[in-house]
Each structure stands twice: as C-alpha cells, then as structure tokens.
C-alpha cells in the first residue's frame, strides 16, 4: 500500500472545565506529558519524530508547536507547525500530518491540539475612529455580521429548524454523561494523568431534573446541553507504511479525510459534507461504519449530524462526548480521534470522527482498523 499513512498511538490529557484542575498549566505543560506518553506507548525514539503539528485556537499566537516540541524533548530540528481553524484545528493537524507522510515529506509526525481556556489572553481591538480599546471574545468568522451568528443562537435555530426538542437535547446530554461514567475505567488507557486528576473531571450523573433547572443560554440551549469551556490536550502519532511495518503494536490506516466549508449561518451541519466526502473517497456508506465520534459542542448539533448523515446512534460516542467532558476548542478534534482509536482496538472496520467549527466549517477523518 504505497503512500499509506498509519495511526499507531493516540493519547490525551484528562479534560477539565475552565478554572478547574488544569487551570495552572501552560500550553506546553498540558501537551508535553501527552506527547511523551504517546512516544512511549508506540515504543519509538524521540529522535525519529520529523514534525509536530499543533492545533490551538485561543492562545496568544506565536508558534505553540515549537514550545510543545522543545518541552517534550524532541530534536531542536523539529520546527513545529501551529494551526488555527478553531474547533477543527486538531483534526486538521492530523490531516496535514497524513499529507506530509503520504507525500514522502516525513515518516513520523505527531499531530493534535492543546487548549488552555483558563489561560486564554484577553483580546482587544482598535478602531480608526477611536483610541479606546474594545474588548471582544469572539472574532468575526465572516465579513458579514448578519451571517456570523453567535454559536449558541445558531445551535438553537438548528433545533427549531429540525424540530429537535429541548427534552431530546437533554436526553442526549444525560446519555452522554451516562456512557462516559460507564467507560471511565476503559478510558484510563488513553488518558495521561496530570493536574492531580486521571479522569475527565466534569463527568457526572446528569438527571432530567438537573437539566430542567439548568440555566438557559438562549432558547432551548442550556448549561446542561451545551459543552463547557475546558482545558486539555490530545495527540496522535502517524507513521509511514515502511515505519508501520517495522513496529509490532496496533496500527490503523488513515483512510481519508476532508475539511469543507458550508453555509456559515448553519455551522452545526457543516460536518455533513466532510463526512460524505471522506466516505466517498473509500467507496463506503454510513452503514459500513462500526464506530463514530461526533462532536457534542451542543447536543442539538450531534443529534442533527446523526439524523442528516444516517450514522447509527448505536455506534456513536460510546464513551460519551464533549457534553460529558468539556470542549478544549483547539484540542477537541484530536480528543475525538483518541476516543476513536481506543474504540477501534477490539474490532475490524471503519470508524469516523467529525467536528464543526464557527464560520460553517466541518472536518471528518476516516480510519480503518484491521485487528
């Protein structure tokens, strides 16, 4: 299989809400332990890593990937590449790593993302008509303010358009936490303990009563059916065919992937085109999938993606999703891939991960497991 790319290890930190157990850790302090555990798990040498690609959406700029690479003890020749595609960043980092390997530019690449929502810098903008600094939280994602919705409001509109009720959204969130609690012991193999925790600290028993009492963000979007802002890191180790053939551990083929733009007013549906593109590249359908990890920035978004794509809910987010963990924006795509890698360990077949981002972006990545 000339030019193939394989995923041979995937690790993540625990995910903790903003201001929680990981709040004191800088980006490189979140990422470096995960990378070192990843390298140890794959039984490869630090010196053989060609590149590190890091997704980060809320940091202060610069090149976080370089900080991460040096903190992890990689060769000084590893320059590090940082990308910001908001929520899609970490999954896009993995797609870039795949392209580097299949093109022959590299043989071993670490890719993923890291985010400290707790330590994100305050942002200000200036105006040519005023000397006063104006604080802002969300940057523009389109040049047209009327087509650049607030994310929670866009999620609520999606629920209205598709008639996904408040109760249905809450039921999804309750189930996400329940699945995460059941899978907690199994997830220990993918989590690198830090900050005094070894589990996702937000996961809890969620009930209908709690959901009904949760503060409303807007419309049917509440604090219970929307993912909390969080800190965390996740990374994957990708290698070429020749490297994979020399290693004895688990390996999975990165079959295909895509990042596509769509209507910026409907960001929740953006993954659909990417999912369809990734499946078409391998000539398969959603019925052929054995596992799926779909981002749960909002419960309504995950429900809509399953309904519109035809992915079976029974194979989706078996260890819970972002509603039960939190949403470390620039890392979330690699968290999904780490979960997918873990879930595919004991089965054959195709698994897919998909995520949406502001501006109407969607990324999907298809993996084939051959146990």
pLDDT digits (tens, 9 = 90+) for 307-320: 999 999 999 999 99
Query: Which of 250, 218, 254 has the alpha carbon at shortest distance from 99?
Result: 254
Q: Are strands 349-357 and 361-369 parallel, antiparallel or unpaired?
A: antiparallel
Scanning 7-63, the segments in alpha helix (DSSP H) are 27-42
Residue 371's pLDDT is 66
Q: Along the chain (371 residues), what's the average pLDDT of each consecutive run of 10 residues? A: 86 98 98 98 96 96 96 98 97 98 97 97 80 83 91 97 98 98 96 97 97 97 98 98 91 97 95 98 97 98 97 98 98 98 94 97 96 66
Question: What's the rounded Cα separation, in Å, for the pair 360 and 270?
Answer: 5
177 is catalytic: no
Domain boundaries 5-120+226-369, corresponding CATH code: 3.40.47.10
Catalytic one of 87, 236, 305, 316? 87
Closest by alpha carbon to 190, among 360, 5, 37? 37
Output the pLDDT for position 1.
Answer: 40
Catalytic option among 88, 211, 236, 327:
327
Give me the residues paired with residue 222 across strands: 216
The count of other CB atoms within 10 Å of the CB of residue 160 is 12
As a whole number of angstroms, the distance between CA 191 and CA 133 comes to 41
Domain boundaries in the chain?
A: 5-120+226-369
- Whole-model pTM? 0.96
* Confidence at residue 11, expressed as pLDDT on a 0 to 100 scale: 98
Q: Answer yes or no: 305 catalytic.
A: no
Q: What is the pLDDT of residue 352?
A: 98
pLDDT digits (tens, 9 = 90+) for 198-256: 999 999 999 999 999 999 999 999 999 999 999 999 999 999 999 999 998 889 999 99
Q: Which residue has the tokens 């609520």?
A: 156
């Amino acid at each position: 299989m000339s030019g193939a790319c394989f995923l041979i290890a995937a690790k993540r930190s625990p995910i903790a809400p903003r201001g929680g157990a990981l709040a004191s850790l800088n980006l490189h302090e979140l990422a470096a332990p995960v990378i070192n555990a990843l390298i140890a798990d794959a039984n490869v040498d630090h010196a053989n890593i060609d590149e590190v690609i890091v997704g980060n959406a809320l940091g202060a700029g610069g090149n976080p990937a370089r900080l991460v690479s040096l903190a992890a003890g990689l060769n000084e020749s590893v320059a590090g590449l940082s990308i910001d595609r908001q929520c899609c960043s970490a999954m896009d980092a993995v797609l870039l790593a795949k392209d580097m390997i299949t093109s022959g530019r590299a043989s071993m690449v670490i890719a993923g993302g890291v985010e400290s929502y707790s330590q994100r810098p305050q942002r200000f903008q200036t105006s040519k008509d005023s000397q006063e600094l104006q604080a802002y939280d969300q940057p523009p994602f389109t040049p047209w303010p009327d087509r650049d919705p607030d994310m929670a409001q866009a999620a609520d509109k999606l629920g209205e358009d598709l008639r996904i009720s408040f109760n249905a959204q809450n039921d999804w969130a309750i189930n996400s936490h329940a699945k995460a609690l059941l899978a907690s012991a199994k997830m220990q193999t993918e989590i690198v303990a830090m900050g005094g925790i070894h589990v996702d600290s937000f996961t809890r028993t969620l009930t209908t009563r709690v959901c009904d009492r949760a503060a409303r963000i807007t419309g049917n979007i509440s604090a219970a059916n929307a993912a909390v802002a969080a800190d965390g890191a996740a990374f994957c180790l990708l290698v070429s065919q020749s490297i994979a053939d020399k290693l004895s551990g688990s390996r999975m083929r990165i079959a295909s992937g895509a990042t596509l733009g769509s209507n910026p007013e409907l960001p929740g549906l953006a993954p659909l085109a990417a999912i369809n593109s990734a499946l078409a590249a391998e000539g398969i359908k959603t019925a052929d999938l054995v596992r799926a990890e779909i981002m749960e920035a909002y419960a309504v978004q995950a429900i809509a993606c399953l309904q519109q794509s035809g992915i079976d809910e029974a194979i989706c987010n078996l260890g819970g999703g972002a509603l039960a963990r939190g949403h470390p924006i620039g890392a979330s795509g690699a968290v999904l891939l780490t979960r997918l890698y873990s879930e595919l360990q004991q089965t054959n077949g195709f698994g897919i991960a998909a995520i949406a981002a502001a501006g109407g972006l969607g990324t999907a990545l298809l993996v084939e497991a051959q146990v």
